């Protein structure tokens, strides 16, 4: 049984017209599907408006207690419910979840030898039976990137990672296509030139491009998760432009990630 897991980037979420175009395409995707959203730019804007300083390390947010409150409000509240409502209007029986809902995604607070990421969660377990049950009821699941530790603590978790972990866990029962969709045409040799999209990329090429700083910042966790998904049994992973979703799923656009 085919399952499409699609992650949508924050730049699309921030643009009302582009988000509407994407949701039209997403609603038309046949079969079982899950949408995972970020929303980093809106969260940053709200946090800065409240005087809460934001820090990023290699594209990953440092999440102190105040920032956790902001991202929970923005991700699990405003963004998630807006997307769910818009999908309902397009005929999708959508249900919005965080990792805490139904114990969907269990995480632990990140341990790092030199960086304190604060309330950032790394995924331990996905509740595959719960999600499978919802999918078999023809529910379209919309995931906000908030998880929990099972002890009452919410944790901010990278949305690209959540998409990868969902794809990995659900690949035991479904044929999974994982799509990272955002504002760019794919992985680019020149970040300012859309014509330089790389059609296919393997692990060795990725390491070389990363070493030469061609790939940097937020693209690093995206590609790290893409390769991890393939190593974990996910059928295919594609990165590309959100408005070209149907072409991405057909393998006619974007960057295909090779094992």
The class (CATH top level) of 2-257 is: alpha beta
Residue 59's pLDDT is what? 61
Distances (CA, A) of 139 to 84, 96, 99, 184: 11, 10, 17, 29
Report the predicted TM-score, pTM, of the whole model to 2 decimal places.
0.92
pLDDT band at 58 (very low <50, low <70, confident <90, very high): low
Residue 41 burial by Cβ neighbours in a 10 Å radius (0-12, 13-18, 19+)? middle
Closest CA to 120 of 161, 178, 167: 161
Residue among 96, 101, 104, 106 at smallest CA distance from 151: 106
| pLDDT greater than 80 at residue 57 | no
pLDDT score at 164: 94
pLDDT score of 218 more than 80? no
Please state, in angstroms and rounded to a whole number, the distance separating the CA atoms of residues 160 and 29.
20
Q: Residue 217's pLDDT is what? A: 78
**For the chain, which residues make up each domain, given as ranges?**
2-257
Selection from 47-56, 106-115, 126-135 with the highest mean pLDDT = 126-135
Phi, psi (rounded to 5 degrees) for 32: -75, 145
Cβ neighbours of 216 (radius 10 Å): 13
3-state secondary structure of 156: strand
The pLDDT of residue 209 is above 70: yes
Strand partners, 147: 155
Average the pLDDT over each of 82-91, 130-139, 250-259 and give the range with the smallest value: 250-259
Instruction: pLDDT band for 39, please (50, 70, 90 cuts).
Output: confident
Q: Is the pLDDT of residue 40 over 80?
A: no
Q: Which tokens in the block code for residue 215?
A: 């790939």
Q: What average pLDDT score do residues 7-33 get?
A: 93
Percent pLDDT > 70 in the chain is 98
For the chain, the average pLDDT equals 93
User: For the purposes of burial, counting CB atoms within 10 Å of the CB of 91, is it exposed (0-12), middle (13-18) or buried (19 or more)?
Assistant: exposed
Residue 167 banded pLDDT, cuts 50, 70, 90:
very high
| Distance from C-alpha of 259 to C-alpha of 38, rounded to nearest angstrom | 25
As a whole number of angstroms, the longest Cα–Cα distance in the chain is 48
């Amino acid at each position: 049984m085919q399952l499409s897991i699609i992650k949508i980037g924050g730049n699309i979420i921030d643009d009302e017209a582009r988000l509407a175009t994407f949701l039209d395409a997403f609603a038309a995707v046949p079969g079982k599907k899950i949408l995972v959203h970020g929303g980093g730019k809106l969260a940053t804007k709200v946090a800065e408006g409240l005087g809460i300083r934001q820090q990023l390390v290699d594209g990953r947010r440092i999440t102190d207690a105040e920032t956790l409150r902001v991202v929970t409000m923005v991700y699990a509240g405003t963004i998630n419910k807006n997307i769910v409502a818009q999908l309902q209007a397009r005929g999708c029986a959508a249900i919005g979840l965080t990792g805490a809902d139904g114990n969907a995604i269990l995480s632990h607070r990140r341990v790092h030898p030199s960086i304190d990421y604060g309330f950032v969660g790394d995924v331990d377990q996905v509740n595959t039976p719960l999600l499978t049950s919802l999918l078999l009821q023809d529910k379209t699941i919309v995931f906000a990137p908030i998880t929990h530790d099972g002890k009452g603590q919410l944790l901010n978790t990278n949305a690209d990672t959540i998409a990868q972990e969902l794809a990995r866990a659900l690949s035991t029962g479904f044929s999974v296509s994982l799509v990272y969709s955002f504002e760019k045409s794919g992985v680019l040799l020149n970040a300012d030139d859309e014509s330089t999209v790389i059609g296919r990329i393997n692990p060795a090429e990725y390491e070389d491009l990363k070493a030469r700083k061609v790939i940097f910042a937020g693209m690093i966790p995206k590609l790290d998760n893409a390769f991890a998904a393939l190593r974990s049994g996910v059928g295919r992973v594609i990165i590309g432009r959100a408005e070209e979703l149907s072409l991405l799923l057909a393998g006619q656009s974007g960057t295909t990630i090779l094992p």
